[in-house]
Amino acid sequence: MSSFTLYPAIDMRGGKCVRLLQGDYNQETVYGDSPFDMAKQFADQGAEWIHMVDLDGAKDGKKVNHEHVIRVAKELAAKVQIGGGIRTMEDVSYYLENGVDRVILGSAAVSNPDFVREALNRYSGSRVAIGLDARDGFVATEGWVETSHIMAVDLAKRLVEEGAETFIFTDISKDGMLQGPNVEAIGELARITGKEVIASGGVSSIDDLVSLKKDDRNIAGAIIGKALYTGRFTLSDALGSVK
């Protein structure tokens, strides 16, 4: 794998930058009033990509904070990937044809496989990523409220056959806890699929990033959220550690 990419995260709710603990909407911390200003800070520190999540969209099943996403995509040099509330081909096209580089489809991979197949078919696996959110190895859906009976690894193998090239793997038990990512599970997914797997959830230190980047793991990158917002390290330091 040629490079290890860092994705500073901006989770949006009610137009603000927030973080939830383990995806719990009742455990929210607000970190800023402007997603654009936050994205600009990250871009100014050298971020090549910004990871944006429409939390309202994930909960409501439709895009809600999309205007903030499009503004970042159009006005900043960093590439943008967006997840949350993308349930139709119209939503996919709206983002990808308005400057966004990649959309992330999550719950739909379980609930609407035909839609996911069509999106991969029309736009390629590099522009349509699959978000695999797992609890004890099983895929969680609908904003993490529901847990399916499908193993994340099995779903990934199926989606590779449909053309998936990029997976974002979140271990919900690690999300927002600053206890380190589930490196073994992420590495296993990368090994089994042979595709790009981006780690999400739990990164708490530079050491976590170095561990994820180890050459034999073939992990493509990591999404960093709470550790940046709580000052565990700066994005500049993180980028320097994985060069």
Active site residue 11: yes
Residue (of 68, 88, 49, 90) closest to 11 by Cα position: 68
Q: Based on the residue annotation, tell me whether 133 is a catalytic residue of this protein.
A: yes
Amino acid at 208: D
Contact 167/129 with Cβ under 8 angstroms? yes
Q: Which of 54, 133, 175, 208 is catalytic?
A: 133
Count the alpha carbons within 13 Å of 80 in the hemisphere toward its beta carbon: 28
Dihedral angle sign, alpha carbons of residues 81, 84, 87, 88? negative
Q: What is the CA radius of gyration of the chain?
A: 16
Q: Out of 11, 54, 56, 175, which one is annotated catalytic?
A: 11
CA 208/CA 135 separation, integer angstroms: 20
Amino acid present at 128: V
Active site residues: 11, 133
